[in-house]
Amino acid sequence: MHKSGFVNIIGNPNVGKSTLMNSLIGEKLSIITSKAQTTRHRILGLVNGDDFQIVLSDTPGVIKPSYDLQSSMMDFVKTAINDADIIIYMIEVGESGLKDEDLYNKIKSSTLPLLLVINKIDLSNQNELENQVEKWKNKLAIRSSNNLYNQSLVASLIARYGEDYTENWAKGLVENFARKPQGNDRAQIIAVANNEADLAIANSYYLGLMLSGKKGDKQLNAGKKVKILFPSQNKYGAHINISGAGIMKASKNYDNAIKFLEFMVSEKAQKHLVENTYEYPINSKVKPSTLISQFGTDFKEDNISVSNFGKYNAAALKLMDRVGWQ
């Protein structure tokens, strides 16, 4: 079987992206100079083997654009992030992030395989290099494996990608825990606000509760320090947990139950729900609360059947136990 894919190199100006590109393809294709922003568009190079082809992409150095040409250059970077199969994120010793925070957060929240390459280590020492590596570890806050939300997330991944892929993903996730899983969703968000973690996996409506002020000033202030990033936008979309209801087969009040369910999806009930629970509405005529819609409403949702959450729940629990997700 012949395989091919895009491996795109992203990083700040003058970190060595073009040098790496030339080294990988074995040709002097990209210009190498000490002058920043020499690369102004994507440069593609091919690496061919008997059963593979790698399309390497050198990109302009990431900056916060201040005029049209720089904006155009950053559009090339955004495209490279969107069509990548693998991202090589290149930094030099002493760097902590990209010069454009939005792009940096987009890379951090991506579900794509990401290789961190630290360049210019000859200008450092072993202790400084080890400290630099540690900065990129232990970044994630998340609830425990006995939480149904997380079980459903893992079950959906098993249904979508298979058990082997999901277990490998979960191992990497556990290795990147900022702390032992603990607390509810709001506790994960607070951990990010307090710089105990860079990312948290949480349901969006919990942030709405915090921003509403209903949970006190402390949580309100914490909520103002974070924002929502929707993962997997280049593939199947963000995992969705839903609130649902059903009618028992032996129900004695079937007709009234139907009326109640119809009321719950009506505009009146949905408006009440979104302004008090801060969940996204199921009724398309109702808009989400502004506390949540400020983070986006046009994100891609994973449309996998929720029946898979129950179907693969037992497998998800066993998998989470095997990888040490407490």
d(CA 291, CA 100): 25
Q: SS3 of 167, please?
A: helix
Q: SS3 of 289, please?
A: coil
Average pLDDT of adjacent 10-residue blocks, the chain of 326 residues: 87 87 85 69 85 89 83 84 88 75 75 82 78 77 95 96 94 92 95 92 95 95 92 86 89 94 96 94 94 90 94 97 95
| Distinct helix (H) and strand (E) counts, the chain | 14, 7
Residues 6+ apart with CB under 8 A from 285: 267
Q: What are the distances in angstroms from CA 147 to CA 9, 198, 209, 301, 310?
A: 37, 21, 19, 21, 14
d(CA 319, CA 325): 9
Residues 6+ apart with CB under 8 A from 150: 142, 143, 144, 201, 320, 325
What's residue 122's pLDDT?
80
- Superfamily covering domain 140-322: Periplasmic binding protein-like II (3.40.190.10)
For 213, phi and psi rounded to 5 degrees? Answer: 85, 0
Residue closest to 173 by CA, chosen among 196, 195, 147, 143: 143
Domain ranges in the chain are: 3-134, 140-322
Q: Are strands 86-92 and 3-11 parallel, antiparallel or unpaired?
A: parallel
What's residue 154's pLDDT?
97
Sign of the dihedral defined by the CA atoms of residues 201, 205, 211, 215, in that order: negative
d(CA 282, CA 54): 42
What's residue 36's pLDDT?
65
Give the Cβ contact number of residue 206 at 10 Å. Answer: 20
Q: SS3 of 7, please?
A: strand
d(CA 264, CA 124): 62
Q: What are the distances in angstroms from CA 131 to CA 33, 119, 137, 197?
A: 29, 14, 10, 17
Place of tokens 């949540």: 292
3-134 domain in CATH 3.40.50.300? yes
Is the pTM value of this prediction over 0.85?
A: no
CA angle 225, 145, 209 (to 5 degrees): 35
b/e map 227-249, b = 16+ CB within 10 Å: ebbbbbbeebbbbeeeeeeeeee
